[in-house]
Amino acid sequence: MVQYKILGPGIQPASQTPVETELRVLNSTESLTLPVVTSTKVIELKEYLSQRLGIDTDNLHFVQRVGCSWRKQLDHEEVGRKVTVGGIKSFKPEKMTYADPFLIIGAGHIGLRHGLYLLQRGFKDFVIVDRRNKVGGTSWISQANKTSKL
């Protein structure tokens, strides 16, 4: 006879039997096998994937083959053994893209030259910042004398 630890009125403890779950990316052959326990919920794997891939859990959806049809698994359900994951393209994190991938700090001689260098090579997505409201840098604004300024 199996004795269950009573957790509340009529509630039995969750199963801790170790199993493996195979996750597949929707419309891809890429798969990932994870060791889980029988009572692992869908939301737990969604949170794991969201941390690993840097995406929101609301974008992920798990579907499982049941007979001849597909069924979407809800967050509170135990995860199936073979699940297809939608809302991602791969189990590898996507490369981060930025609106301005280059930042040049300082609008002095070298900062301006670097901006020209990028323009000559076809890069137009950069920003030059300086602590002052004029270009020229420390040598031109602070250290130059009356005869060296334009």
Q: Compute the mean pLDDT over every residue in the chain, rounded to the nearest whole number.
A: 85
Look up the pTM and report it. Answer: 0.60
Half-sphere exposure of 128 (CA within 13 A, CB side): 21
Residue 52 has pLDDT above 60, yes or no: yes
77: buried, middle or exposed (CB in 10 Å: 19+, 13-18, 0-12)?
middle
pLDDT digits (tens, 9 = 90+) for 99-120: 768 899 999 889 999 999 999 9
Q: How far is CA 66 from CA 20, 32, 100, in A?
A: 18, 20, 46
Task: Report which of residues 16 and 18 the model is more confident about.
Answer: 18
Query: What value does the mean pLDDT take over residues 40-68?
Result: 91
Q: Identify the band that residue 43 occupies on the pLDDT scale cut at 50, 70 and 90.
A: very high
Residue 126, token pair as written in the block:
């950069």
Amino acid 17: pLDDT: 87
The strand pair at 82-86 and 18-25 is best described as: parallel
